[in-house]
Chain A
Amino acid sequence: MTIINTSRMTPYMFLAPAAAIMLIGLLYPIGYMMYASFLDWNPSQRIGEADWIGLRNYLNLLQDESFRESAIVTLKFASIVVVSEMIIGVGLALLLDRNIRGMSVLRTIFILPMMIAPIVVGLMWRYMYHPTVGIFNQTLNSWGFDSIPWLSDSWWSLTSIIIADIWQWTPFIFILALAALQSLPRTALEASRIDGASGWQQIFYIKLPLMMPVLIVTALLRLIDAFKVLEVILVMTNGGPGLSTEILALRIARTASEFRELGVAAAMSNFLLLLLLVLTISMFIYSKVAESRAAHLRQMAEKG
């Protein structure tokens, strides 16, 4: 009898610790945040002492110029970064998809920027962008050009953080795109070559459409992560000059720690989550559609 009981309990025993940790460490805090977004709450108060102010945090945010500004910066940053990384990463994957010696070494070197702490990445770039000792301005000066205000001009600082992000994350797209390329059905590629398709035709009519499902998921993962980039920007510009590089995640952190308005920060967090949710769901649906299309295409290719 006891044996049957224990074997029935086993799966729950195995799952219990994980479930408990995720409940107290993840789900409860997120629920708590939803609640806190309706409060006027500063860090020295317990949550019970904070005043309930209903939707006022949200309404204030909607009217807040600077919040809108940083939402725009976030969207601009995320879209530019994802689009350029997709183009460069997929382009490189198409170029480098050959049998060369040392491909694995190459991939190893490419993942280094992603493994290093974002704080350190920010540090490296801040040093390189340094107005006098940074390598960029020194090179420019030695070639006889003027220095560029990398981190002190609002247009340049956004460009600078975008460049740093492209450096750090293009390899991610490259590696995923390469994996997708190498899992393509060789028969389809060979058939098209026999039919006389040129390199470009192969890329546009066979490789890219077949890679599409993976590419969409890749873009989605990268997009989600682009909204989370915080440390690199924090170290490089801390959101400045002005609000030119203050993306939402950074604004949340600053609202909570510098301005000590936890309720407002929680409301912003909810906005950010909502935005991400909408993006994720729409990309997810789109990927399902693309997947069925690719499956269809693959079938056609393999048939003929």
Chain B
Amino acid sequence: MSNAEERQNPAFYALVVALILMSLGPIFLMLSTSLRLNVDIMSDASRLFFLPTLQNYETVLCNVLWYEPGHVDYCDPTFSRALGNSLVVALISTIVTLVVGCMAAYALVRFRFMGRGTVSMTTLMMRMVPPAVLLVPVFGIWTFQYQLDGTYAGIILVYVAMNLPFVIWILQSFIVQVPIQLEEAAKMDGANAVQIFFLVVLPVIKPGLAAASIFTFRIAWNEFLIANALLDRDTRTVPVTIVNSLTEYDINWGVIMATGMLLAIPPIIFTFVASKQIITGMTAGAVKG
């Protein structure tokens, strides 16, 4: 097969364009809805031409803005508080998972007590457990035994535990590639295990860290079910507030789409910045086995 680009027939490009439209369409629709007034959303007037407005975003973020938006009569702080909660929970979970997962993956590779087979088996088993299954026990234990319901620590513990198997497993596949000679050289120069880990191994496995952190962040940022069961009014994350504001009738589509957009923005940014690492993380599961 030649490396030069081949001439493709037009139907092929039509297919590609259609696929792109299909996968981006719903996202654009959400964006455009979030930029409309409710009057425009509900009217049958043309879909494509409307005056974009940031009013919905102002409504959502009213109490963190530096000015007071004129159209907001009553400022509901729920959404902006939830946004803050989501950030705190997702960031801390990601950091803790990475640090702990890195240490464990390193130990598993370098000191070899369990084979890779055991770890990938555990990962698969853990991946099998649906969050809905964790709902009952986590609710019971966190409320009555750990006394962690409604706290950041409680939900972070769940997310870290849920993500650890995958993170350990993916980091392991990167650590295996670090040449042992590099570490031995450092040891000769008098570095101890901790120094070797931080100064020699960590810099080499950066791409793996990127993949692992995006996956962890995404799960902690997007998760609804367990957050809904554990968190209370003050610590609620964005997915929970979105579901709470969905009623059977009379949904404020503009505002809810603006919230959805705010929730979707960080994952979208990650996707564009690090799509390569994400694909690595995704394919590693199946292709490497």
Q: Do chains A and B interact in one complex?
A: yes
- The chain A residues found within 8 Å of chain B, CB to CB, are 7, 10-12, 14-15, 17-19, 21-22, 24-26, 28-30, 32-33, 36, 41, 43, 46-47, 92, 95-96, 98-101, 104, 106-113, 115-121, 123-125, 127-128, 133, 135, 138, 167, 171-172, 175-176, 179-180, 183, 186, 189-190, 213-214, 217-218, 221, 224, 227-228, 230-231, 234-235, 248-250, 252-253, 256-257, 262, 265-266, 269, 272-273, 276-277, 280, 284
Picked from A17, A33, A218, the residue with its CB within 8 Å of the CB of B136 is A33
Chain A residues positioned under 8 Å from B131 (CB to CB): 228, 230, 249
Q: Which residue of B12, B29, B128, B143 is within 8 Å of A135 (Cβ)? A: B29
User: B274: nearest residue on chain A (CB-CB)?
Assistant: A108
Determine chain B's interface SS by DSSP, over half rule. helix
Top 7 A-B residue pairs of the complex, sorted by shortest distance between their CB atoms: A25-B161, A18-B104, A14-B107, A117-B222, A29-B137, A11-B111, A249-B132
- B165: A residues at CB distance < 8 A: 22
Q: Which of B75-83, B176-184, B259-267 contacts A (4 or more CB under 8 A)?
A: B259-267
B24: A residues at CB distance < 8 A: 109, 112
Which one of A43, A171, A277 contacts B139 once the chains associate, using CB atoms below 8 Å?
A43
- The digit string for B172-206, where 1 denotes a CB below 8 A from any CB of A, is 00000000000000000000010001000000000
- 22 residue pairs bridging A and B, Cβ less than 8 Å apart: A10-B193, A11-B111, A17-B103, A18-B168, A25-B161, A26-B161, A26-B164, A29-B141, A43-B143, A99-B3, A99-B5, A100-B5, A118-B222, A176-B283, A217-B286, A221-B285, A228-B132, A230-B225, A256-B136, A269-B136, A273-B128, A284-B124
Give the Cβ gap from A300 to chain B, nearest Cβ, in Å.
21
Residue of B nearest to A172 (CB): B282
Which residues of the partner chain B approach A124 to less than 8 Å between Cβ atoms?
26-27, 29-30, 260
Asked if A117 and B161 sit within 8 Å, CB to CB, the answer is: no
With the chains together, A112 CA to B266 CA distance in Å?
11
Contact bitstring B199-219, A, C-beta under 8 A = 1, else 0: 000000000000000000010
Interface centre among B29, B42, B146 (most CB of A within 10 A): B29
Q: Determine the chain B residues whose CB is within 8 A of the CB of A109 once the complex forms.
A: 20, 23-24
- Residues of chain B with a CB closer than 8 A to A7's CB: 193
A111 engages B271 (CB within 8 Å)? yes
Given contacts A29-B138, A116-B268, contact A46 B229 (CB under 8 A): no
B74 shortest CB reach to chain A, Å:
23
Q: Which listed residue (B158, B225, B263, B287) contacts A180, Cβ 8 A?
A: B287
B128 with A123: CB separation less than 8 A = no
Residues on the B chain within 8 Å of A227, using CB: 130
* Nearest CB in chain B to that of A248: its residue: B132
| A273 B103 Cβ-Cβ under 8 A | no
Most chain B beta-carbon contacts within 10 A, residue among A29, A33, A234: A29
Nearest CB in chain B to that of A180: its residue = B287
Contact of A235 among B137, B222, B243, B267 (CB under 8 A): B243
**A190 cross-chain contacts in B, Cβ below 8 A:** 1
Instruction: Answer whether A176 and B287 are a contact pair too, CB < 8 Å, given A26-B126, A30-B129, A36-B140.
Output: yes
CB distance from A106 to the nearest CB of B (A): 7
Could you tell me the distance between the alpha carbons of A138 and B30 in the complex, rounded to whole angstroms? 16
Among B44, B225, B282, chain A packs the most CB atoms within 10 A around the CB of B225
**Which of chain B's residues have a CB closer than 8 A to the CB of A214?**
286-287
In the complex, which residue of chain A has the Cβ closest to the Cβ of B226? A253
Cβ-defined contact, A119 with B239, below 8 A = yes
